[in-house]
Amino acid sequence: MSADAAAPSIDLDIAPLQRLALDLRWSWNHATDELWRQIDPELWARTHNPWVVLRTASPRRMAQVLTNPAFRESLRRLTAEADEAAQAPTWFQQAHANSGLACIAYFSMEYMLSEVLPIYAGGLGNVAGDQLKSASDLGVPVVAVGLLYQQGYFRQVIDQDGAQRALFPYNDPGQIPVIPLRKPDGEWLRLQIRMPGYNVWLRAWQIKVGRLRLFLLDSNDIANHPTRRGITSELYGGGPELRLEQEIVLGIGGWRLLEALDLRPDVCHLNEGHAALAVLDRARSLMELTGITFDAALTVTRAGNVFTTHTAVPAGFDRFEPPLMEQYLGTYAADSLHIPVRDLLALGRENPHDDAEPFNMAYLAVRGCGAINGVSQLHGEVSRRIFLPLFPRWPAAEVPIGHVTNGVHMPSWDSPEADELWTGCCGKDRWLGSLESTQERIRSLADATIWRCRAVARASLVAYARERLSEQLAASGATPEQIAGAAHRFNPDALTLGFARRFATYKRPNLLLHDPQRLARLLSNAERPIQLILAGKAHPADLPAQALIQDWVRFVRRDDVRPQAIFLSDYDMFMTERLVEGVDVWINTPQRPWEACGTSGMKVLVNGGLNLSSLDGWWAEAYSPKVGWALGDGREYRDDRARDAADAAELYDLLETQVIPEFYSRDEHNIPRAWIARVRESMASLTPNYSANRSVREYVERAYLPAAASYHRRAQNGGALGVEIRDWRRALEQGWSGLRFGSVKFDTRGERHHFTVEVALGALGPHAVSVEICADAIGDRPVLCQQMTRLEGPPDGSGMNLYAASVPAIRSAADYTARIVPSHPAAGVPLEAPYILWQR
């Protein structure tokens, strides 16, 4: 397949500009900014959209710039640099040249790549976008799949009463850097998928993200019935039926798009459970190729599927009622998978035999993937508890869910000043490799250098905040005096706090507002002034969160607060960039453990901003007293009101007794030495560890490479190994109830306990299971588990199998219990076989 611009015919001299404008590399490499500024400075300043600048300019204007020798030379140089960057050796090529991993398909409901492509809502899209950019930097062979929404996520207006209003502007494909995917003969690539009683045509689009491609599907095809054209109308809008339709388009439609493009991924990565239906269609594809049954095909393909969960509470998963699932997927189950719809629904249920239980997309993802991870160390623990019902009687610590802590794409979030500082210290290619030397190099920076960088970035943020506030006031009908006054708000030398994110009650965005009078006193202290910038959206249906926004807006409009606090409306990616570049302290106050990771605070690291956050998400593993401040004691509480009051008091105390004094404690050169020491250590130790560079490399080495190797082993010889594992699982299902324990004996000799256990295997052979002797974790004593060896049966001929093991006597023998678990050299236990039988 090929892709073209589907634009009016243009002079060939514009082709190099078109190439640059259609590659979202400009969203993190700003070398081309001056080109677009020269073409139309006003439009560029308002949109930061090279594609719309290029398509809007008149032929006369383009002739003017293209006949300018300096412009032409800049264009030639930048085009050559882009070609050179695309051809340069990458980390993946150098580290894993012979790995056999050729293609990773990445599915996500949203992507935050640039504010000009509004197909994102918050953290999930942030992670997806930043991982794509880092995968491009590192040369990881990813193709991404998503949806092109007609409206995308909403735009926010704050009215005169401080209430949020939601607007849904139309995403005109002609004004965003997407191009139609076309067949070799030039026809637009369109897919047809089956819905209940009708077919839906899906148009296919492409976005270039550096070395990578992002494919987007949308249903706004003229051949569709008007109601069907709206399936991809808006992100996270509508009710369950629309959400299910979107997830069918993403999962099933997305996999069929890859097939139409003749792409055969080794690995399929589900970024949250919205795309879980892709695991079904990947199995369907293998069925058609090999002729094996669905359960054997799923056994083969799941080995190459990776599921990342971002949800910290069970209620966050998408659930659909059985009649709706049967309506939409009954025919698909019968005609494409050749199974009863009841068998399909069983894959998404805690109890596969409960026909009334709703279908859970996350459960399908667990049962259709060979590797599962949370997005922080703490979230891994939380996820193991959440999914424990799928692994009954297994210890939570052994639920097969690991973690890869998120990271952010540092080149997307660094200020010009920070970029210059890091380039001078660590080189321009610092984010393209494995980051070994960055820490010590940053630690060598002088205090004055860091402080100068911080001062320039803070002043730039103040200028931006003034300009943005002036526009906001003018749009809301403020008086000329109020608009003019915005130009003098804030002090570029004052301690600047930032709080901006999606507003949701569990994030406790109003914790800092718990005692308004105390906060007002902090803000109005003339000797040690602080200033506060707030921003954020609440989901249009989340009325409690919208009320929290209104509380903040009313507070910042108070006469005693107005000079030192502002709420900026319509929080988007561009605003985020400006805030994280300049704030001194980023405040984050979620209720533990509901913040799965949280990436907003990671973005300030590269710029020398510091974090003051609850010990939740990524901060629970990143925090030390040398790099920032922690709120709370790291424990979980149920009495929310009492906890909120205690945390609010602690937050004020931290600001009054530590944060503010340290910022204003200056030496004879007016440099806050203790503050800069904290900034330096945060930049050195946290920035590399919480970059998407690190997280993508971790996914490659811990998830993608093993998944690809496992999938290829299972797929060989028409899926023979998958059929073998399928048969092993069937034998377990039929024979597990016949297992039982006989006697368990032990004696202690010297420094070891010696155990013998009798086991009746019933219809199962000894190679289908493993017998282990285990001691649970108690206090600081870890879990101990050792496989037992099968011996000759006892002389009485009872038919019992005898197992033995010897363990160090560092724990009491009474701590140990025997258990039987499934065993197969090529299968994941308990992920693929969640059976377990305990001695007691």
Q: Is the pLDDT of residue 635 over 90?
A: no
pLDDT digits (tens, 9 = 90+) for 536-563: 999 998 999 999 999 999 999 999 999 9
The pLDDT confidence band at residue 792, using thresholds 50, 70 and 90, is: confident
Pairing of strands 2-3, 179-182: antiparallel
Closest-CA residue to 602 (of 698, 454, 501): 501
Closest-CA residue to 34 (of 24, 48, 23): 48
Name the strand (E) or helix (H) holding 447. Answer: helix 447-475
Cβ(313)–Cβ(329) below 8 Å:
no
Closest-CA residue to 735 (of 835, 804, 838, 840): 835
The pLDDT confidence band at residue 437, using thresholds 50, 70 and 90, is: confident
Q: Is the pLDDT of residue 406 over 70?
A: yes
**What 3-state DSSP class applies to 54?**
helix
CA atoms 706, 711, 717, 722: torsion sign: positive
What is the structure's pLDDT at 192? 95
Mean pLDDT calculated for residue range 331-344: 97
CA gap 680, 556 in Å, rounded? 32
The pLDDT confidence band at residue 793, using thresholds 50, 70 and 90, is: low
Burial of residue 667 (number of CB atoms within 10 Å: 0-12, 13-18, 19+): exposed
Q: Is the pLDDT of residue 780 over 80?
A: no
How much is the pTM?
Answer: 0.95
Question: Which of residues 442 and 171 earns the better pLDDT score?
Answer: 442
Mean pLDDT calculated for residue range 410-415: 96
CA gap 237, 223 in Å, rounded? 23
Cα R_g (the chain), whole angstroms: 29
Peptide linkage before 395 cis (omega within 30 of 0):
no
Backbone conformation region of residue 369, classed left if phi is above 0, alpha if psi is from -120 to 50, else beta: beta
Residues 6 or more apart whose Cβ sits within 8 Å of residue 777:
397, 783
Pairing of strands 801-808, 789-791: antiparallel
Q: Is the pLDDT of residue 2 over 60?
A: no
CA gap 488, 95 in Å, rounded? 53
In the chain, % of residues over pLDDT 70: 98
The pLDDT confidence band at residue 11, using thresholds 50, 70 and 90, is: very low
pLDDT digits (tens, 9 = 90+) for 166-181: 998 888 888 999 999 9
Domains and CATH numbers, the chain: 2-87 (no CATH), 91-406+700-715 (3.40.50.2000), 434-690 (3.40.50.2000), 739-838 (2.60.40.10)
Mean pLDDT calculated for residue range 85-101: 93
Q: Is the pLDDT of residue 1 over 60?
A: no
Mean pLDDT calculated for residue range 509-521: 96
What is the structure's pLDDT at 783? 81
pLDDT digits (tens, 9 = 90+) for 262-300: 999 999 999 999 999 999 999 999 999 999 999 999 999
Mean pLDDT calculated for residue range 397-406: 97
Query: What number of CA atoms fall less than 13 Å from residue 413's CA on the CB side?
Result: 32
Mean pLDDT calculated for residue range 237-251: 95
The pLDDT confidence band at residue 609, using thresholds 50, 70 and 90, is: very high
DSSP calls for 767-809? GGEEEEEEE--BTTBPPEEEEPEEEPPPTT----EEEEEEEET
- Say how many residues make up the chain: 840
Query: What number of CA atoms fall less than 13 Å from residue 570's CA on the CB side?
Result: 19
What is the structure's pLDDT at 794? 58
Q: Name the average pLDDT for the chain.
A: 94
Helix 447-475 / helix 673-681 crossing angle, nearest 10 deg = 90
Q: Is the pLDDT of residue 5 over 80?
A: no
Q: Is the pLDDT of residue 795 over 70?
A: no
Closest-CA residue to 252 (of 287, 216, 213, 280): 280
Ranges of beta strands (E only) in 262-388 are 267-271, 305-308, 319-320, 359-360, 371-374
